[in-house]
């Protein structure tokens, strides 16, 4: 099959190579592996994506690197890494990049240099070998696959004779339409997402099947095909622009916050890319990290790629030109019990990277239904390392001008759901208290929001957008930390029109109509103010 999109150039002369790879040599009949740091000319290499599943004892450290350059103890290598070397050898690829061995694990400088190279390391690889079904480095993934016992036990499997094109008689096996879907151990790991996203070609060793993913074909696998299956190929879901070679795209320039239409990209392409980023954030934020502090570093390589395509400045998981709507990310939790508490500092409160749980950023087509009310004047971050512009940050702030309004954030037990529900209440001009003027999404269980009984707390609402037709505002819930300096604690949305639609009784209808009217008038008496959000 011809693979025009994912094909690697045959000419390797100006090709990128990682600064350190594991060199595989089986010419003597016995596999020998050593670390090499500079090859006279670029050679093809494979990359490995796998679960560490704990600390690997054997890895490259400052005191082991010299001996690994001579010879690595092949038999002591963890099973997952030995399996990856075996696959690369079978494919005639003489080198493999494995993080635990190609990055000096106790050398922060080398770590920063290698992490900065990550986008290119994975995107220039011949193939990424994904050990998806191995929970840890010592499990391996080339062992025999387990059959699907549940179908055989239930007698839901049918074996029929099948005549192959060569005339051989084999069998075809019919399985039920709905297979219990398996979440592979690797699909749960935050670091693995960008490795998958950046790799043009992947051989994916999953629990029950082996998959081929690339930018040309959506779904190639051994074994069965599920009916109505949308494909697990994330590569096929990224826009075609993202697949251009990294060198053909100019690096991002400094640019003042601009409206969406001023970008050099066509608006539909831009929408597609921003929407892809929103998808990346949604998938990534739901995955697990061993170290919460890796929140920004573990998606940095993907961000670096997006920065080039978007030609934009990155700000802790958000894009500078689109902050006007991207700061309205919200936690994707069904009820309070799923909310995470805030752990160590990872990002400023206005960034989704500040919290541990799954988040959503809505699609940019909001643009045509909403009026942007908030003016972002400044957005700066202090990086932990200048080598990693998409990595960890020490601090950051946004200065913005918009309408603010004091309100009370309350919490009541809702017996239909787990935990409690949050609501905003507002005192009308006539002095009435109106409850639940908006849908409320709280970011995290802050210390002052925990406990079984909490008094309503004083918050500040900041208007970010209004719905064009109904004038219903959407914005942020802030807490004042010092005069004119705030922290984000949540997001609110006053677009409650649907409640009127679904109201049962006239009384309910009237109550909801008042709530909606109050929502619309929320910022009517407010002046525009400049404030800082940290
Ligand atoms: Zn292909």
Model confidence pLDDT, tens digit, residues 115-140: 999 988 998 899 999 999 999 999 99
How far apart are the CA of 42 and the centre of ligand 1, in A?
Answer: 22
292-320 pLDDT, tens digit each: 999 999 999 999 989 988 889 999 999 99
Residue 189 pLDDT exceeds 70:
yes
How far apart are the CA of 296 and the centre of ligand 1, in A?
Answer: 30
Ramachandran region of residue 53, left (φ > 0), alpha (ψ -120 to 50) or beta? left
Count of other CB atoms within 10 angstroms of residue 90: 8
Q: Where are the beta strands (DSSP E) in 175-257?
A: 201-205, 210-214, 220-221
The tally of CA atoms less than 13 A away on the side-chain side of residue 151 is 17
Q: Which of 398, 412, 507 is nearest to 462 (CA)?
A: 398
How far apart are the CA of 36 and the centre of ligand 1, in A?
Answer: 29
Report the pLDDT value the prediction gives residue 248, as an integer from 0 to 100: 39
CB 6 within 8 A of CB 200: yes
Report the pLDDT value the prediction gives residue 498, as an integer from 0 to 100: 58
Residue 155 pLDDT exceeds 60:
yes
How far apart are the CA of 6 and the centre of ligand 1, in A?
Answer: 4
How far apart are the CA of 203 and the centre of ligand 1, in A?
Answer: 12
Instruction: List, in order, residues 6 or more apart from 278 with CB less than 8 Å away.
Output: 360, 361, 362, 363, 364
Report the pLDDT value the prediction gives residue 385, as an integer from 0 to 100: 92
How far apart are the CA of 215 and the centre of ligand 1, in A?
Answer: 5
Average pLDDT of the chain, as a whole number:
83
How far apart are the CA of 126 and the centre of ligand 1, in A?
Answer: 11
Where does residue 2 rank: exposed (0-12), middle (13-18), buried (19+ CB within 10 A)? exposed
User: Which pair of tokens denotes residue 34?
Assistant: 């050593």
Residue 335 pLDDT exceeds 50:
yes
Block residue for tokens 């290598």: 77
DSSP for 136-162 reads STTT-S-SPPP--HHHHHHT--EEEEE
How far apart are the CA of 217 and the centre of ligand 1, in A?
Answer: 6
User: DSSP code of 199?
Assistant: -
How far apart are the CA of 330 and the centre of ligand 1, in A?
Answer: 36
How far apart are the CA of 218 and the centre of ligand 1, in A?
Answer: 9
* Least confident among 195-204, 225-234, 280-289, 406-415: 225-234
User: Which pair of tokens denotes residue 461?
Assistant: 């609402």
Report the pLDDT value the prediction gives residue 246, as an integer from 0 to 100: 46
How far apart are the CA of 314 and the centre of ligand 1, in A?
Answer: 30
Question: Can you say whether the dihedral through the CA atoms of 358, 241, 392, 375 is positive or negative?
Answer: negative
Q: Report the range out of 293-302, 331-340, 420-429 with the highest average pLDDT.
A: 293-302
Q: Report the range out of 120-124, 405-409, 460-464, 467-471 with the highest average pLDDT.
A: 460-464
The percentage of the chain sitting over the pLDDT mark of 90, rounded to a whole number, equals 45
Tell me which residues have their CB within 5 A of the ion that is ligand 1: 3, 6, 214, 216
Report the pLDDT value the prediction gives residue 366, as an integer from 0 to 100: 53
Report the pLDDT value the prediction gives residue 364, as an integer from 0 to 100: 56
Residue 390 pLDDT exceeds 70:
yes
* Least confident among 36-40, 255-259, 280-284, 393-397: 255-259
How far apart are the CA of 127 and the centre of ligand 1, in A?
Answer: 11
How far apart are the CA of 151 and the centre of ligand 1, in A?
Answer: 33
Cα angle 139-144-148, degrees, rounded to a multiple of 5: 105
How far apart are the CA of 212 and the centre of ligand 1, in A?
Answer: 9
User: Which pair of tokens denotes residue 389?
Assistant: 């512009």
CB 240 within 8 A of CB 268: no
How far apart are the CA of 196 and the centre of ligand 1, in A?
Answer: 14
Block residue for tokens 């004083």: 458
The more confident residue out of 365 and 302 is 302
Report the pLDDT value the prediction gives residue 411, as an integer from 0 to 100: 79
How far apart are the CA of 2 and the centre of ligand 1, in A?
Answer: 7
Taking only Cα atoms into account, the Rg of the chain, rounded to an integer number of angstroms, comes to 27
Q: Which of 470, 471, 495, 484 is nearest to 530 (CA)?
A: 484
Residue 252 pLDDT exceeds 60:
no
How far apart are the CA of 452 and the centre of ligand 1, in A?
Answer: 55
67-96 pLDDT, tens digit each: 999 999 999 999 999 999 999 999 999 999
How far apart are the CA of 214 and the centre of ligand 1, in A?
Answer: 5
Report the pLDDT value the prediction gives residue 256, as an integer from 0 to 100: 41
């Amino acid at each position: 099959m011809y693979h025009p999109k994912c094909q690697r150039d045959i000419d390797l002369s100006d090709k990128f190579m990682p600064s350190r790879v594991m060199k595989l040599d089986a010419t003597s009949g016995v596999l020998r592996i050593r670390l090499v740091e500079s090859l006279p000319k670029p050679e093809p290499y494979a990359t490995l994506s796998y679960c560490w599943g704990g600390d690997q004892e054997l890895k490259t450290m400052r005191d082991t690197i010299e001996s690994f350059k001579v010879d690595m103890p092949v038999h002591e290598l963890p099973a997952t890494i030995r399996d990856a070397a075996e696959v690369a050898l079978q494919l005639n690829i003489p080198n493999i990049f494995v993080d635990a061995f190609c990055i000096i694990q106790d050398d922060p400088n080398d770590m920063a240099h290698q992490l900065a190279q990550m986008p290119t390391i994975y995107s220039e690889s011949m193939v990424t070998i994904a050990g998806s079904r191995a929970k840890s480095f010592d499990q391996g993934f080339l062992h025999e696959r387990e059959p699907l016992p549940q179908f055989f036990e239930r007698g839901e499997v049918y074996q029929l004779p099948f005549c192959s094109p060569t005339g051989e008689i084999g069998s075809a096996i019919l399985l039920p339409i709905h297979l219990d879907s398996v979440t592979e151990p690797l699909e749960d790991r935050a670091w693995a997402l960008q490795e998958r996203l950046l790799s043009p070609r992947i051989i994916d060793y999953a629990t029950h099947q082996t998959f081929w993913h690339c930018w040309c074909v959506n779904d190639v696998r051994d074994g069965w095909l599920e009916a109505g299956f949308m494909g697990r190929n994330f590569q096929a879901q990224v826009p075609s622009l993202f697949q251009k070679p990294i060198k053909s795209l100019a690096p991002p320039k400094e640019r003042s916050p601009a409206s969406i239409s001023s970008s050099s990209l066509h608006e539909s392409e831009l929408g597609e890319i921003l929407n892809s980023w929103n998808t990346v954030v949604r998938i990534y934020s739901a995955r697990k990290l061993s170290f919460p502090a890796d929140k920004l570093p573990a998606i940095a390589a993907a961000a670096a790629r997006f920065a080039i395509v978007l030609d934009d400045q990155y700000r802790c998981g958000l894009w500078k030109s689109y902050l006007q709507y991207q700061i309205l990310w919200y936690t994707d939790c069904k009820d309070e019990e799923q909310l995470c508490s805030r752990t160590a500092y990872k990002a400023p409160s206005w960034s989704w990277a500040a919290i541990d749980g799954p988040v959503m950023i809505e699609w940019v087509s909001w643009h045509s239904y909403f009026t942007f009310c908030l003016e972002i004047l400044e957005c700066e971050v202090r990086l932990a390392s200048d080598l990693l512009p998409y990595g960890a940050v020490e601090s950051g702030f946004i200065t913005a001008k918009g309408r603010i309004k004091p309100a009370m954030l309350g919490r009541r037990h809702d017996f239909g759901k787990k935990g409690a529900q949050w609501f905003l209440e507002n005192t009308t001009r006539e002095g009435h208290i109106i409850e639940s003027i908006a849908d409320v999404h709280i970011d995290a269980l802050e210390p002052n929001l925990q406990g079984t009984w909490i008094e309503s707390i004083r918050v500040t609402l900041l208007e970010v957008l209004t719905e064009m037709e109904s004038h219903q505002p959407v914005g942020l819930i802030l807490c004042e930390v010092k005069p004119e300096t705030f922290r984000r604690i949540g997001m609110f949305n006053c677009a409650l029109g649907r409640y009127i639609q679904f109201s049962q009784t006239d009384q309910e209808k009237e109550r909801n109509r008042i709530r909606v009217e109050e929502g619309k008038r929320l910022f009517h008496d407010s002046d525009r103010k400049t404030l800082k959000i940290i």
